[in-house]
Protein backbone atom coordinates (compact mmCIF):
# COMPACT_ATOMS: atom_id res chain seq x y z
CA UNK A 1 0.00 0.00 0.00
CA UNK A 2 1.36 3.47 -0.85
CA UNK A 3 2.49 5.64 2.05
CA UNK A 4 0.17 8.64 1.55
CA UNK A 5 0.90 10.97 4.46
CA UNK A 6 -1.65 13.63 3.48
CA UNK A 7 -3.99 14.65 0.70
CA UNK A 8 -4.71 18.38 0.41
CA UNK A 9 -7.15 20.42 -1.63
CA UNK A 10 -5.52 23.70 -2.59
CA UNK A 11 -6.32 25.38 -5.87
CA UNK A 12 -2.85 26.94 -5.85
CA UNK A 13 -1.32 23.43 -5.72
CA UNK A 14 2.41 23.79 -4.86
CA UNK A 15 3.17 27.21 -3.37
CA UNK A 16 4.88 28.69 -0.31
CA UNK A 17 2.65 27.22 2.43
CA UNK A 18 2.68 23.77 0.89
CA UNK A 19 6.41 23.90 0.20
CA UNK A 20 7.57 25.19 3.55
CA UNK A 21 5.03 24.41 6.24
CA UNK A 22 3.02 21.39 5.16
CA UNK A 23 5.78 19.36 3.55
CA UNK A 24 8.02 19.63 6.61
CA UNK A 25 5.23 19.11 9.17
CA UNK A 26 4.18 15.81 7.59
CA UNK A 27 7.74 14.82 6.59
CA UNK A 28 6.80 14.25 2.95
CA UNK A 29 9.50 13.45 0.43
CA UNK A 30 7.27 13.32 -2.66
CA UNK A 31 4.80 16.01 -3.72
CA UNK A 32 2.31 14.49 -6.14
CA UNK A 33 0.10 16.98 -7.95
CA UNK A 34 -2.86 15.01 -9.30
CA UNK A 35 -4.43 17.26 -11.90
CA UNK A 36 -5.28 16.63 -15.54
CA UNK A 37 -4.41 20.14 -16.77
CA UNK A 38 -1.13 20.48 -14.88
CA UNK A 39 -0.01 17.02 -16.02
CA UNK A 40 0.11 18.48 -19.56
CA UNK A 41 1.38 21.99 -18.70
CA UNK A 42 5.18 22.07 -18.48
CA UNK A 43 5.21 25.81 -17.71
CA UNK A 44 3.06 25.39 -14.60
CA UNK A 45 5.16 22.39 -13.57
CA UNK A 46 8.38 24.42 -13.81
CA UNK A 47 6.85 27.24 -11.75
CA UNK A 48 5.75 24.80 -9.05
CA UNK A 49 9.16 23.10 -9.10
CA UNK A 50 10.69 26.48 -8.23
CA UNK A 51 8.43 26.69 -5.14
CA UNK A 52 8.93 23.07 -4.10
CA UNK A 53 11.36 22.29 -1.26
CA UNK A 54 14.64 20.63 -2.18
CA UNK A 55 13.84 17.93 0.39
CA UNK A 56 11.05 16.51 -1.77
CA UNK A 57 10.65 15.29 -5.32
CA UNK A 58 7.70 16.45 -7.44
CA UNK A 59 5.46 14.52 -9.80
CA UNK A 60 2.64 15.85 -11.97
CA UNK A 61 0.20 13.11 -12.91
CA UNK A 62 -3.26 13.07 -14.44
CA UNK A 63 -5.97 11.69 -12.19
CA UNK A 64 -6.05 8.44 -14.17
CA UNK A 65 -2.27 8.00 -14.09
CA UNK A 66 -2.35 8.55 -10.32
CA UNK A 67 -5.02 5.86 -9.99
CA UNK A 68 -3.08 3.51 -12.27
CA UNK A 69 0.34 3.73 -10.61
CA UNK A 70 -0.08 4.85 -6.98
CA UNK A 71 0.04 1.24 -5.77
CA UNK A 72 3.50 0.84 -7.34
CA UNK A 73 4.98 3.53 -5.05
CA UNK A 74 8.03 2.51 -3.06
CA UNK A 75 7.65 2.17 0.71
CA UNK A 76 10.28 4.88 1.25
CA UNK A 77 8.09 7.44 -0.54
CA UNK A 78 6.12 9.60 1.88
CA UNK A 79 3.54 10.92 -0.53
CA UNK A 80 1.77 14.27 -0.21
CA UNK A 81 -1.04 14.36 -2.79
CA UNK A 82 -2.18 17.84 -3.77
CA UNK A 83 -5.40 18.32 -5.73
CA UNK A 84 -7.13 21.41 -7.03
CA UNK A 85 -10.73 20.46 -6.26
CA UNK A 86 -12.79 18.11 -4.09
CA UNK A 87 -14.06 16.52 -7.30
CA UNK A 88 -10.48 15.50 -8.16
CA UNK A 89 -10.07 13.92 -4.72
CA UNK A 90 -13.34 12.01 -5.09
CA UNK A 91 -12.19 10.71 -8.49
CA UNK A 92 -9.00 9.39 -6.89
CA UNK A 93 -10.90 7.76 -4.00
CA UNK A 94 -13.43 6.14 -6.33
CA UNK A 95 -10.51 4.96 -8.48
CA UNK A 96 -9.02 3.06 -5.54
CA UNK A 97 -6.40 5.50 -4.24
CA UNK A 98 -6.22 4.74 -0.47
CA UNK A 99 -6.91 8.19 0.95
CA UNK A 100 -8.02 8.29 4.59
CA UNK A 101 -7.71 12.01 5.36
CA UNK A 102 -8.18 15.17 3.30
CA UNK A 103 -6.95 18.58 4.35
CA UNK A 104 -9.05 21.38 2.86
CA UNK A 105 -6.72 24.32 2.59
CA UNK A 106 -7.65 26.80 -0.08
CA UNK A 107 -10.58 27.05 -2.48
CA UNK A 108 -10.79 30.50 -4.05
CA UNK A 109 -13.95 32.53 -4.28
CA UNK A 110 -15.39 32.62 -7.81
CA UNK A 111 -18.76 33.04 -9.50
CA UNK A 112 -21.40 30.89 -7.86
CA UNK A 113 -19.31 30.15 -4.75
CA UNK A 114 -19.92 31.34 -1.20
CA UNK A 115 -17.44 31.81 1.60
CA UNK A 116 -17.62 28.81 3.94
CA UNK A 117 -14.68 29.54 6.21
CA UNK A 118 -11.44 31.47 5.90
CA UNK A 119 -9.90 30.70 2.53
CA UNK A 120 -12.51 28.10 1.55
CA UNK A 121 -15.33 29.03 -0.82
CA UNK A 122 -17.77 26.39 -2.01
CA UNK A 123 -20.79 25.87 -4.20
CA UNK A 124 -23.49 23.21 -3.86
CA UNK A 125 -21.51 20.77 -6.03
CA UNK A 126 -18.47 21.10 -3.74
CA UNK A 127 -20.58 20.48 -0.62
CA UNK A 128 -22.19 17.41 -2.21
CA UNK A 129 -18.75 16.13 -3.23
CA UNK A 130 -17.47 16.54 0.34
CA UNK A 131 -20.46 14.50 1.56
CA UNK A 132 -19.60 11.75 -0.94
CA UNK A 133 -15.97 11.79 0.22
CA UNK A 134 -17.16 11.32 3.81
CA UNK A 135 -19.29 8.36 2.68
CA UNK A 136 -15.98 6.64 1.87
CA UNK A 137 -14.97 7.00 5.56
CA UNK A 138 -12.46 9.72 4.73
CA UNK A 139 -11.73 12.28 7.44
CA UNK A 140 -12.11 15.90 6.29
CA UNK A 141 -10.19 18.71 8.00
CA UNK A 142 -10.20 22.42 7.24
CA UNK A 143 -6.82 23.86 8.13
CA UNK A 144 -4.90 26.51 6.21
CA UNK A 145 -1.49 25.87 7.79
CA UNK A 146 -0.30 23.30 10.36
CA UNK A 147 0.19 25.91 13.08
CA UNK A 148 -3.46 27.04 12.99
CA UNK A 149 -6.29 25.15 14.62
CA UNK A 150 -8.67 23.13 12.51
CA UNK A 151 -11.95 24.81 11.56
CA UNK A 152 -15.35 23.26 12.19
CA UNK A 153 -16.79 21.25 9.31
CA UNK A 154 -20.19 22.72 10.25
CA UNK A 155 -19.10 25.90 8.52
CA UNK A 156 -18.47 23.92 5.35
CA UNK A 157 -21.81 22.13 5.29
CA UNK A 158 -23.95 24.97 6.60
CA UNK A 159 -22.59 27.85 4.55
Q: Which of 17, 2, 20 has the alpha carbon at shortest distance from 32?
A: 2
Q: For the chain, what is the largest distance between any 2 Cα atoms, rounded to a whole number of angstroms?
A: 42
Q: Which of 15, 71, 108, 136 is catalytic?
A: 15
Q: What distance in Å separates the CA atoms of residue 64 and residue 96, rounded to the nearest whole number?
A: 11
**DSSP-derived 3-state class of residue 149:** coil
Is residue 65 within 8 A of residue 39, CB to CB? The reply is yes
Does the active-site annotation cover 108?
no
Is residue 78 within 8 A of residue 52, CB to CB? The reply is no
**DSSP-derived 3-state class of residue 68:** helix
Q: What distance in Å separates the CA atoms of residue 113 and residue 126, rounded to the nearest whole number?
A: 9
Opening angle at CA 63, ends 9 and 89, nearest 5: 30
Residues annotated as catalytic are 15
Amino acid sequence: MPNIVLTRIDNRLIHGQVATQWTSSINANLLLVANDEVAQNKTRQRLMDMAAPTSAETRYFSLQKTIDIIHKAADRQKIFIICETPQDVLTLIEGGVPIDKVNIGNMHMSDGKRQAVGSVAVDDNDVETFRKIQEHDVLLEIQRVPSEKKESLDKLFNS
